[in-house]
Amino acid sequence: MASKSPARPTIYDVAQEAGVSKSLVSLVLNGSDLVSETKRLAVQEAIERLGYRRSRTASNLARHRSHTIGLVVDNFENPWFAPMLHGLRETLAPHGLHVAIREQHISPNHPTAIDEFLESGVDALVVAAEPGHDFADPGVPTVVESTRLHGITGADLVGSDQLTGANLAVEHLANLGHQHIGHISGEGGAAATRRAGFEQAMWARGLEPLVAGRDQDTTEEGGYLGTVELLRRHPQITAVFAANDMMALGARAALREDGRSTPRDCALMGYDNSPVARSRLLDLTTIEPCTHEVGLRAAEALLRRMTEPSAPTLNVQITPRLVVRSSSLPA
Report the first-to-last Cα separation within the chain, whole angstroms. 98
Spell 77-113 as b/e; 16+ CB within 10 A means b: ebbbbebbbebbbebbeeeebebebbebeeeeeeebb
Helices 189-204 and 162-175: angle between axes, nearest 10 degrees: 40
| Average pLDDT value for residue range 287-315 | 94
Does the structure show a pLDDT above 80 at 11? no
| Average pLDDT value for residue range 203-207 | 98
Dihedral pair phi/psi, residue 286, rounded to 5°? -155, 180
Rounded to whole angstroms, the Cα distance separating 241 from 322 reads: 13
| Inter-residue contact 191 to 218 (CB < 8 Å) | yes
pLDDT of 96: 87
Whole-structure pTM value: 0.78
Nearest-Å Rg of the Cα atoms of the chain is 25
Name the percent of the chain lying above pLDDT 90: 61
274 Cβ neighbours under 8 A, 6+ residues apart: 78, 79, 80, 244, 245, 246, 286
According to DSSP, the residues that pair with 157 across neighbouring strands are 144, 315
The predicted-structure confidence for 115-174, as pLDDT tens digits, reads as follows 889 888 899 999 998 887 788 888 899 999 887 777 888 899 999 999 999 999 999 999
Residue 30: count other Cβ atoms within 10 Å of its Cβ. 13
Please name the amino acid found at residue 45. E
pLDDT of 3: 45
Rounded to whole angstroms, the Cα distance separating 103 from 108 reads: 16
Q: What is the dihedral of CA 254, 260, 265, 266, to 10 degrees?
A: 0
pLDDT of 107: 67
Rounded to whole angstroms, the Cα distance separating 296 from 84 reads: 7
Residue 216: count other Cβ atoms within 10 Å of its Cβ. 23
